Chains A and B, each alone.
Chain A
């Protein structure tokens, strides 16, 4: 038995267990030909509203389902099921983000081979979800016009990992004095070159580009 203290150099990613599970999820999705899209935003930016629009308008062309994370309640899943799509709630309890294991656990409820796109609606939070890869093919970060144009600078990590940024609630942009050019510039500072879409789920404007993004995912999967 040695009793001398020893120093060992490790250099290991702390979240490697999550990354490992995320890689398994990614393999599962790829094998089934499903593209998973991780939707991240602050609470109330309109993730569920955008998904409702997407299910309502695209279900004839794209086979979609949703896994939605919240600390409590099944409200969002119930809202999404109205549009005829399968929606499973992940109740995270006190956890402020989805992790790869939570997603893995809910996957058995879906018949992945019958899907083109699986939306992973994250818990409303711009900080914590950035650290947790879920195995998604694409990460969509939403920001609403009510949130302030500097949000991409305040939460650079989440915007930096975005594959697309969606500016929501454009119908009230003028009323809340939203500076679109400044917001776009700040998004580009946090993630140079990322595609930026502007839309209003309530008014149904600007949705075409988002739908095109979703359809493109399906084409990649095939």
Chain B
């Protein structure tokens, strides 16, 4: 349940970008959220409006893009990884220690007013 902390950090990052662009307010923002990032999208959606009150993001629409996990199997190359099955190739069961994608917690895009 650290989504409120994540929402506050997100607002901080957005405010920096607004300042860089000389913008007063954000209308909408898109966040890329990996399935392996340990952040629950519903909880982030719930926390965001409350954390945004009184900031330049008040009333802004939050869009969340889920990023599925992809690992690298020594035999099968890039393969999809299901969080519930662990870091093993779904084809052959070999360990795939490195995550090619799926741990994202990124501010992707911002619509400025």
A binding-site residues for B, Cβ under 8 Å: 3, 5-18, 95-97, 99, 127-128, 130-132, 152-153, 156-158, 160, 186, 188-193
The answer on a CB contact under 8 Å between B107 and A6 is: no
Contact yes or no, A13 B105, CB < 8 A: yes
Write the nearest CB–CB distance from B38 to chain A, whole angstroms: 4
In order of increasing CB-CB distance, the 8 nearest A-B pairs are A189-B86, A192-B95, A128-B2, A157-B38, A192-B97, A6-B112, A10-B107, A14-B10
The winner among B1, B13, B86, B99 for most chain A CB atoms within 10 A is B86
Closest A residue to B29 using CB positions: A10
Q: Using an 8 Å CB-CB cutoff, how does the interface string of B84-105 with A read, 1 for contact, 0 for none?
A: 1111100000011101000101
A residues within 8 A CB of B9? Answer: 14-18
Residues of A within 8 A of B21 (CB): 6, 8
Count chain B residues whose beta carbon lies closer than 8 angstroms to a beta carbon of A: 37
List, in ascending order, chain B residues with CB within 8 A of A190's CB: 86-87
Judge whether A5 and B2 touch: CB under 8 Å: no
Contacts of A8 in B (CB 8 A): 17, 21, 109-110, 112
Quick one: which of A99, A131, A153 contacts B38, CB cutoff 8 A? A131
Contacts of A17 in B (CB 8 A): 9, 12-13
B96 CB contacts on chain A under 8 angstroms: 192
Q: Within the complex, which residue of B37, B105, B110 is in contact with A10, where a contact is CB–CB below 8 Å?
A: B110
B1–A191 touching, CB < 8 Å:
no
Chain A residues with Cβ below 8 Å from B2 are 95-97, 127-128, 131-132
Which residues of chain B in 11-36 are interfacial with respect to chain A, using CB atoms and an 8 Å cutoff?
Answer: 12-13, 17, 21, 23, 27, 31, 36
Would you call A192 and B109 a contact (CB within 8 A)?
A: no
Known: A10-B108, A14-B31, A17-B12. Is A158-B97 also a contact (CB below 8 A)? no
A9-B108, A192-B87 given; 9 more Cβ-contact pairs under 8 Å? A5-B111, A8-B21, A18-B9, A127-B2, A131-B2, A131-B37, A189-B85, A190-B86, A190-B87
Q: Does B50 contact A (CB under 8 A)?
A: no
Give me 6 A-to-B residue pairs in the complex whose CB atoms sit less than 8 angstroms apart, sorted by A's number.
A3-B113, A7-B112, A12-B107, A15-B6, A127-B2, A131-B2
Q: Which residues of B contact A158 (CB under 8 A)?
A: 38
